[in-house]
Amino acid sequence: MRSIPRRTVRNGIVGGVVGAVLGVVPLVLLVAPLLGGGVAGYLERDDARGGAVAGVLAGVVTALFGVVLTAVVVAVRFGDLPLSVVDGPLARLGIATALSLAAVVGQVLVAGIGGALGGILEAAHRPSGSGDARRTASRVRRRRSPIAAVGSVLGGLVTFAAVAYAVTAVLDPLIWPSAIVGLPVGFVAGVAVAVVGYAFARRERNADGRWRAVGIGALAIVVVFGLLLGGLWVVGQERVAASHESTYEYEVSIDADGTLEDPTFYVPAPTDSDDVRLSAVFVEDASEERYVPGVASGAGAEPVNFSSEVVETEHGPMIAVSADRIEVSRYYYRTVENETMGWTEPISPEEYDPADPSTGVAHDGSFTLTVTAVAEDSIDTADPFGTEPLLAPQYDRTRVDCPSGPSETRRCYTYESRVYADYDADEGTTVSVAATVDGRNEWFSGGWNGNEYRDRTSVELLGPRSGWHVAFGELDVGRGSYRR
């Protein structure tokens, strides 16, 4: 077995040091092995094969430096290896080891590619022949060098953009953030095209046979890379489809800052769709949640037994929500701050001062009744009219500008509706009643994505009430991202 020349070892160490230094620079660390390997390969001055050997050595040095640096950081931070790692489950430790080895192998491989490209680049600059022929060849290279350099750089930039975008898009459903893989792969491809293209433009006239072989190899790489991307795309789309979920949610909220006697509310009901009848599901299986402020103390709020049903009214079917009594307690507090943090502490009603901004009052009269249903098919969130559940009734629905500006799919509307309220309360009691229905499509692609529509009707009342009241409605459709 032939030993590695000392010159190659020296060049590999130099390239490894360059890669290790660049590896601690943000934004450059992802391509540091390629650059370090490229330096080693260029210094080797032995074409692609010799440059690859020097590049591999540079990758080993860079990887070892990364391992040592990680060990030092862990030792400084923890004083030793974290016990959770040493004593952790064997499977987790094995996965961590496998990932670390994969990272090291990847660094060495990329550095080897960089070394080969560095060797090719150096060979393109190296004069060949002797005497007049050598000077003539050098003059030809100098005349063609600016054009070759500009063309190869442009080709490398185009390749970088195309490959980085393609890899990022294909891996988006599989890895987050996928750009952490797409950008380095695109950079390697771009540098390879730029270097090989530059060397090809400056080739010797008698080297066409060798470059024909290079072209066949490049074509094979492109075909294999395309097949690999295609396979990953199929796997990614399968994952997107498997993670896709469409859900409806209907919610009724009641917020009172004082006790209500014999309260009954009629709120807009969601229209039925082919997939789900939210009104019936709400009556049967609504979950209840009560907000209790953090400053509350004692035995807790008195439970409220809500009942609901679908009722026919002069404004169409509505959801009736009623209870015997909603007892609401008030909690007074003071905000206390020091130089670094703040907190609240309870105070007596006598200590509360409306004019003092450090004191406040909270109550436990906020309730939400919610039901969620899964849709069998994707929900038409961009155009839910006539096909998806919306609140009814809606009078004088008018399209308005959306708060965050227009988009291709998003549209916003306002309208009037009706809410019936019947309860006894103190004159100063404020009651807010709202009904909301929304439909959402969600899937995983580079993180969780989705789109939705949201329909909400609300009204605010003061003092005891008995009768119908005009409510304000807001409808927002087409929000979010849509798969093309």
% of the chain beyond a pLDDT of 90: 32
For the chain, what is the mean pLDDT? 83
At 10-25, the pLDDT tens digits run 888 888 888 888 877 7
Check pLDDT > 60 for residue 386.
yes
- Distance between CA atoms of 319 and 418, rounded to whole angstroms? 12
Check pLDDT > 60 for residue 298.
no
Of residues 404 and 333, which shows the higher confidence score?
333
Check pLDDT > 70 for residue 85.
no
Domain boundaries, the chain: 1-126, 130-243, 248-328+364-480, 330-363
Q: Which residues contact 328 (CB under 8 A, 6 or more apart)?
A: 256, 257, 258, 259, 260, 363, 364, 365
Check pLDDT > 70 for residue 113.
yes
Question: Which pLDDT value is given to residue 484?
Answer: 65
pLDDT-based confidence at residue 472 (cuts at 50, 70, 90)? very high
Check pLDDT > 90 for residue 425.
yes
Check pLDDT > 90 for residue 65.
no
Check pLDDT > 90 for residue 453.
yes
Check pLDDT > 50 for residue 467.
yes
Question: Which pLDDT value is given to residue 240?
Answer: 73
- Distance between CA atoms of 459 and 226, rounded to whole angstroms? 58
**Distances in Å between the alpha carbon of 279 and those of 71, 268, 480?**
60, 10, 26
Question: Which pLDDT value is given to residue 139?
Answer: 46
Q: Which residues pair with 267 in a beta bridge?
A: 319
pLDDT-based confidence at residue 92 (cuts at 50, 70, 90)? low
Of residues 420 and 150, which shows the higher confidence score?
420
pLDDT-based confidence at residue 389 (cuts at 50, 70, 90)? very high
**Distances in Å between the alpha carbon of 391 and those of 128, 317, 378?**
82, 10, 20
CB 278 within 8 A of CB 371: yes
DSSP-based helix, strand, coil % in the chain, nearest 5? 45, 30, 25
Of residues 37 and 298, which shows the higher confidence score?
37
Encoding tokens for residue 11?
A: 């060049």
Question: Which pLDDT value is given to residue 141?
Answer: 47
Question: Which pLDDT value is given to residue 254?
Answer: 96
Place of tokens 């390997």: 37
Q: Can you give the pTM of this predicted structure?
A: 0.62
Question: Which pLDDT value is given to residue 143?
Answer: 44
Check pLDDT > 90 for residue 93.
no
Question: Which pLDDT value is given to residue 95?
Answer: 67
pLDDT-based confidence at residue 1 (cuts at 50, 70, 90)? very low
What average pLDDT score do residues 382-403 get? Answer: 93
At 305-356, the pLDDT tens digits run 999 999 999 999 999 999 999 999 888 888 888 777 888 888 888 888 888 8
Question: Which pLDDT value is given to residue 233?
Answer: 85
Most trustworthy range by pLDDT among 123-137, 373-387, 454-468: 454-468
What average pLDDT score do residues 34-53 get? Answer: 82
